[in-house]
Amino acid sequence: MNWIMAAIGGVLLGGLYALYATGLSVSFGVMRLINLAHGDLAVTAAFLSSTLVLTAGGSPFWTILVLIPVGFGVGVLLQKVVFDRLVGVDPALQIVATFGLSIVIQNALLKVYTADRRALDIGSLKTKSFSIGEVSVGAFPLLRFVVAVLVLVSLSLFLGRTSTGRAFRATSDDPEAARLMGINSRAIYVIASGIAVSTVFLAGIFSGAQTNFASSDGPGLLIFAFEAVIIGGLGSLWGTLAGGIALGLAQTLGAEQFTDWPAQLFGHVLFLIVLAVRPNGLFGRAET
Amino acid sequence: MSDVPAPAHVVRATTTSRVLGLLGVLLVAWLAFLAASDNPATQTKIVELCVFVVVASMWNLLAGYTGLVSIGQQAFIGLGAYGLIVFGNGYGQDVYFSIVPAALIVLIASVPIALLAFRLRGGYFAIGMWVIAEVVRLLVKQYKDDPIKGGSGTSLDVPTDLYPKAERFQTTAFIALGLAVLAVTVIALLLRSRIGLSLQAVRDNEHGAGGLGVNVYRERFIVFMIAALFTGAAGAVWYLLKIRIQPDTAFGVADWTAPIVVMVVIGGIGTIEGPIIGAALWYLVRDYVTSTDSAIQLSDEWYLIVTGLLAMVVALFFQRGLWGSLQRHFPSLQVFPIQRRLVVDDEVGDHRDRKRST
């Protein structure tokens, strides 16, 4: 029975990882850009949410309604000020610039919020669970998973059914040809970064409601997001969901079997195995 | 009128490079003189500076010359450091000698690491290296027996009857200085060699270089191993001085790769001199802003915020960094004669630069 519980927990956790990874997947898919400050942005959202709750009261859930548009704005701003200059340049410069951004965000958070860990209080929802026979499922992890899947569904509907989504896919496939067809790639990039940051803000708040967080957590979250993208395969949103779930399963099942070992190690090991055996990921297209 | 059949010849060293080279030799001599004094604070500074010169130069060799941007170099630092612990504490070897097998272990470990990480490109290689460093860190933390002692860490065994403290500081400072000189020399010779030419061809245009017969994969592999060897040795030297070691700092990205990236980028990526200048500036400025009697004082957080912003600004607007920008304005400025400059001998016999190739 423990195994079933661990497997369910892993799948639900995978939803969160997919939510983390969505922004990374979108930025890379559209701009070939890797933002190493991705995880730090998630931690920033969790801290902002805790500040909002402390000053205005209430539950962290209402802060989502405020912070998703804020995240979109942050993404737009980052795109205009930083990322626009990094599209199509040497990856080394992308890495250095966004790594610098990551150092700045981490230390700014450390300065403002100290090194103490914080948590977002969601009250009784945190401990609530449903029982089906002997198996019990946490209500909050389930909610988180449903939200993650809803975000991915709406994103893929947006990409698949709208004209802006078509422009996205065209830019992703061939920015030069897309531009010749009259697509404003700069505007597409701005939307992509807005989506990337607002989804990772959402993930940061959901994660902060489950476990406590500190200013130095960003790099660890970036690694999970990155592993989900690579395990699932580049360039596929559903692959990212599958990658997140595979990562979550590896962590919870690994920790279930080897209780003395840290859970994240099993995720890393799965990532290295996928890298060695199937470098394009489980659902990846051929080399880009 | 000249009867020389070849109308041009290749010039490598210039007057500027000879003068600057001489200054470099004098600088090393001065550091050696300081290392010989018995001031532990100065010796500590020399070790820290030299270790960062080594690791920053090696990161630059990878990122600036082969396009392999790694944010997992802390894997090699930590492995070198724990190699020192294993041979020093575990097998009871002489601690100075233990640097050699520790560095060789890192060299061996770099082979499987490269085999995995080389499957990823660009930014994904960078994060992939980071994941590998994390795996090594978690495995080391998991080994709770002697001599590693898990996540709580351990101390290098240096009984003062065998290794008097003053002598250890002095010896370590000399080893660190020697390692830095060796590392920079190896890089300069490597870049002067045929491998250096193909590396720079690969960096500038990977497919083009491949088409001209450069074995891109092999050349990268060799450079990756050299970088691992020296980075591992530097990690061992660092902990020869610091004694106390914990996996979270020895394998910490914020402790190692973050400052390295900032140093190299500000000093000038893709130049030999850049990382040296960047590392020296990092320590000079840090000393200045953290000492109590200077005009500008910054806490550690502010120092990192400012350097992180600087790295961003340099990466976005001044991609050549300090040394690279200087070289752009003064093309003959180079300490290490690794360029090949074609000088055409025309009829009156004066030399005129026609074409420059690096």
Give B358's pLDDT tier (boundaries 50, 70, 90): very low
The stretch B16-41 carries a mean pLDDT of 90
CA distance B154 to B89: 10
Amino acid at A184: N
Between helix B300-317 and helix B257-267 the angle, nearest 10°, is 50
Whether residue A252 contacts residue B96, with contact meaning beta carbons closer than 8 Å, is answered with no
- Going by pLDDT thresholds of 50, 70 and 90, the confidence category of residue B5 is low
C-alpha to C-alpha distance for A94 and A35, rounded to whole angstroms: 7
- Decide if B301 contacts B252 (C-beta within 8 A): no
Which residue does chain A place closest to B204, by CA atoms? A90
B146 vs B235, residue with greater confidence: B235
Asked if residues B152 and B250 have their Cβ atoms less than 8 Å apart, the reply is: no
Write out the two tokens for A64.
């989502």
What residues contact A220, with CB distance under 8 A and at least 6 apart? Answer: A39, A264
Side-chain-side CA neighbours of residue B216 (13 Å): 16
Residue B151: inside a domain: yes
- By CB neighbour count within 10 A (0-12 exposed, 13-18 middle, 19+ buried), where does A216 fall? middle
Q: Is residue B62 part of a domain?
A: yes
* pLDDT given at position A135: 81
More confident residue, A203 or B14: A203
* Residue B1, in any domain of the structure: no
Sign of CA dihedral A68, A69, A70, A75: positive
Give residue A211's Cα distance to chain centre.
16
Residue B152: CB partners within 8 Å, gap ≥ 6?
B246
pLDDT band at B355 (very low <50, low <70, confident <90, very high): very low
Region B307-330: mean pLDDT is: 89
Cis peptide before B147 (omega within 30 of 0): yes
**Inter-chain contacts counted by CB atoms under 8 A, chains A and B:** 136
Q: Is the pLDDT of residue B95 over 70?
A: yes
Sheet (strand B340-345) strand order: B8-11, B340-345, B351-357
Which tokens hold the place of B134? 């994390």
Determine the pLDDT at residue B351.
Answer: 47
Tokens 């790099």, residue located? A219
Q: Is the pLDDT of residue B357 over 50?
A: no
Which chain A residue has the Cα nearest residue B298? A111
Domain map (residue ranges) of chain A: 2-213
For B246, the 3-state DSSP assignment is coil
Q: What is the mean pLDDT of chain B?
A: 88
Instruction: Quote the pLDDT of residue A138.
Output: 87
User: What is the reported pLDDT for B29?
Assistant: 93
Does B108 contact chain A (CB < 8 Å)?
no
Residue A91, chain B, CB below 8 Å: the answer is yes
Task: Provide, as residue numbers in chain A, all residues whose Cβ is less than 8 Å from the Cβ of B142.
Answer: 260-262, 265
Q: Which residues contact B156 (CB under 8 A, 6 or more apart)?
A: B84, B85, B88, B89, B95, B239, B240, B243, B245
Q: Is residue B268 part of a domain?
A: yes
Instruction: Give yes or no for B113 touching A (CB within 8 A).
Output: no
B71 contacts A103? CB cut-off 8 A: no
Q: Structural domain of residue B317, as residue ranges?
A: 8-357
CATH number, domain of B113, equals 1.10.3470
Whether A94 has its CB under 8 Å from any CB of chain B: the answer is: yes
Q: For residue B317, how many other CB atoms are within 10 A of its CB? A: 8
Contacts of B128 in chain A (CB under 8 A): 230, 275
Q: Which residue's entry shows tokens 């912003």?
A: B309
Interface test mutation site (partner A, options B301, B309, B310, B317, max chain A beta carbons within 10 A):
B301
Bridge partner list, B9: B343
Report pLDDT for A288.
Answer: 42
What element of type H or E holds B171?
Answer: helix B165-192
**Residues of B with Cβ-Cβ distance to A271 under 8 angstroms:** 131
Q: Which residue has the tokens 């995995």?
A: B116
Q: Residue B16: pLDDT band by 50, 70, 90 thresholds?
A: confident
Q: Residue B343: pLDDT above 60?
A: yes
Q: How far apart are CA A39 and CA B252, in angstroms?
A: 17
- Average pLDDT of the residues in B204-222: 85
If one compares B212 and B29, the residue with the highest pLDDT of the two is: B29
Residue A181 confidence (pLDDT):
87
Contacts of A219 in chain B (CB under 8 A): 130, 253-254
Identify whether B3 is part of a domain: no
Higher pLDDT: B14 or A65? It is: A65
As a whole number, mean pLDDT of residues B316-335 equals 85
Domain count, chain B: 1
Higher pLDDT, A83 or B122: A83
Q: Is residue B2 part of a domain?
A: no
User: What is the C-alpha separation between B94 and B293, in angstroms, rounded?
Assistant: 41
Q: Quick check: B141 and A276 CB within 8 A?
A: no
Interface test with A, best of B68, B111, B118, B131 (most A CBs within 10 A): B131
Tokens of A20: 């983390």
Q: How confident is the model at residue B170 (pLDDT cuts 50, 70, 90)?
A: very high
| Ranges of chain A with pLDDT below 70 | 235, 284-288
What's the pLDDT at A285? 59
pLDDT tens profile B60-78 = 999 988 889 999 999 999 9
Q: Which of A49-58, A81-90, B141-150, B284-293 has the lowest mean pLDDT?
A: B284-293
- Tell me how far apart the alpha carbons of residues B322 and B271 are, in angstroms, rounded to a whole number: 10
CA distance B270 to chain A (A): 11
- Local structure of residue B342 (DSSP, 8 states): E
Measured between alpha carbons, how far is A206 from A221 in angstroms, rounded to an integer?
A: 13
B321 found inside a domain: yes
- With a cut of 70, say whether residue B43 has pLDDT above it: yes
Using alpha carbons, select from A288, A275, A199, A276 the residue that is nearest to residue A231.
A275
* HEC per residue, chain A: CHHHHHHHHHHHHHHHHHHHHHHHHHHHHHHCCCCCCHHHHHHHHHHHHHHHHHHHCCCHHHHHHHHHHHHHHHHHHHHHHCHHHHCCCCHHHHHHHHHHHHHHHHHHHHHHHCCCCECCCCHHHHCCEEEECCEEEEHHHHHHHHHHHHHHHHHHHHHHHCHHHHHHHHHHHCHHHHHHCCCCHHHHHHHHHHHHHHHHHHHHHHHHHHCCECCCCHHHHHHHHHHHHHHHCCCCHHHHHHHHHHHHHHHHHHHHHCCCCCHHHHHHHHHHHHHHHCCCCCCCCCCC
